[in-house]
Amino acid sequence: MHLLKQTGHSSLGLPEDSYIYSIVPSSRTEFAAISSDDSLRIFDANRLSHTSLLANNAHDGVTSLQTYDASNQLVVTGGRDGKVKLWDLRNGKNSAVVAVESFVHWGELTSGPEVCLDLRSLCELLTDPATANQAPVLSTATCSETNSLVAGTELHSHQAIVAFWDVRSATQPRLEYVESHNDDVTELQYHPTRHNILLSGSTDGLVNIYNTTITDEDEALVQVINHGSVHHAGFINERTIYALSHDETFAIHPATDPDEEAQEPEPIQFGDIRQPLSCEYIAQLCIGSQGPYIAAGHKIDKRLDLIPLVPTPSWRFDEQSLWRLPGGHGEEVVRSVYVDEQNQSVFTCGEDGFVRTWKPETEQGQDNPVETPRKEKKTKEKARYRPY
């Protein structure tokens, strides 16, 4: 076991009793964060208390945050208001610009003003709110190599939609899959190297793999995995898929190649991994250069463990080599984890309303000013928010 020590924490200037849902890198030295007050904020990775408010109301019910481009200059958000927004941060961290704003919708769009400028400006589609049937967005994915932005929606009017936009012309989706899921779409992810391959996961229990160059939905489906209500799913590498259910059931599946006739290996079913990993919940799976880590939390013991998932001799958890974050986020749930290998740091955020940074104990001694902590919440006055 290896220990990490907390070296900084900040509430990012959020109101009391706020949750921080997700953090993603927005530049080499900064992160973007979405929170339960529906704000979009940016903070300095080295001095967490240096925070800027990018949008006070990014969405009416923000649910999703993703990095868009490799240089981390653009971020994507989705919300329960049915909107997907691409934010351009290059104008300065005090004046982020909505580069793309569009709706996921059912039915025909009504006529309205359309404005399409370059990405540094605004491309916006307006609909008549009285007639537009907007679908709450629960998940997003991006592929800058193909100028693609994807959103997955909540089940509404008996449909759950996976909608695709080309950000260069985002007045309406260029493609929609509407029959592959019959419940909320909770996860979307592009293949790490094949930019035409997309994964989706849903509370209907399915993980679907699509060839997005094919418009016919039935023909686009190249693989279907039946796992159980999907909390997280994605590609571990080019040939391996993982799935994690809302009851913490975990499995690893081979990614099939329709062009190859070779028989794929059988999936590895881990079952409920809470007892084997001595945890109460799984926050997420993190992918690093050394391989994947499962982020396993324990509220009673107040800790978070990053447990390596190793492929030899077959996929298994290497609990002897885990990294422990003692204290974690106290008795609150960790919602998002980012492993910054370049700076040998781990960033976490959670339902205590704080972002925290961690480093190996052997690398202490550096000056890292933090904000004075506010009082810990004694009671929970609202139910845990679930963006699915």
328: left (phi over 0), alpha (psi -120 to 50) or beta: left
> Is residue 372 assigned to a domain?
no
pLDDT(111) > 70: no
d(CA 50, CA 169): 35
Hey, is 141 helix, strand or coil?
Answer: strand
> Is residue 318 assigned to a domain?
no
pLDDT(138) > 50: yes
> Is residue 305 assigned to a domain?
no
Number of residues in the chain? 388
Report yes or no: 202 and 223 within 8 Å, Cβ to Cβ: no
> Is residue 101 assigned to a domain?
yes
User: How many CA within 13 A on the CB side of residue 130?
Assistant: 2
d(CA 35, CA 254): 35
Domains of the chain: total: 1
d(CA 60, CA 333): 23
Domain containing residue 168: CATH number: 2.130.10.10
Domain hosting residue 84, numbered range: 25-279
* Structure token digits, residue 248: 């913490």
Cβ neighbours of 40 (radius 10 Å): 25
Q: Name the one residue in this structure whose structure tokens are 């909770």.
A: 186
Task: State the average pLDDT over residues 111-137.
Answer: 39
What DSSP line would sit under 213-249, residue for residue? T--SHHHHEEEEEE-SSEEEEEEEETTEEEEEETT-E
70 CB-contact burial (10 Å; exposed 0-12 / middle 13-18 / buried 19+): exposed
Task: State the average pLDDT over residues 324-340.
Answer: 97
pLDDT(110) > 50: no
**In this predicted structure, which of 105-109, 161-165, 266-270 has the lowest mean pLDDT?**
105-109
pLDDT, tens digit, 9 for 90 and up, residues 257-271 = 766 766 667 899 999
**Sign of the torsion angle spanned by Cα atoms 315, 205, 185, 329:** negative
> Is residue 225 assigned to a domain?
yes
pLDDT, tens digit, 9 for 90 and up, residues 83-102 = 999 998 876 544 455 555 55
Q: What is the pLDDT of residue 289?
A: 84
> Is residue 387 assigned to a domain?
no
d(CA 68, CA 305): 28
Q: Are strands 206-211 and 303-310 parallel, antiparallel or unpaired?
A: unpaired
Q: Alpha helix locations (H) across the chain?
A: 217-220
Q: What is the pLDDT of residue 89?
A: 81
> Is residue 254 assigned to a domain?
yes
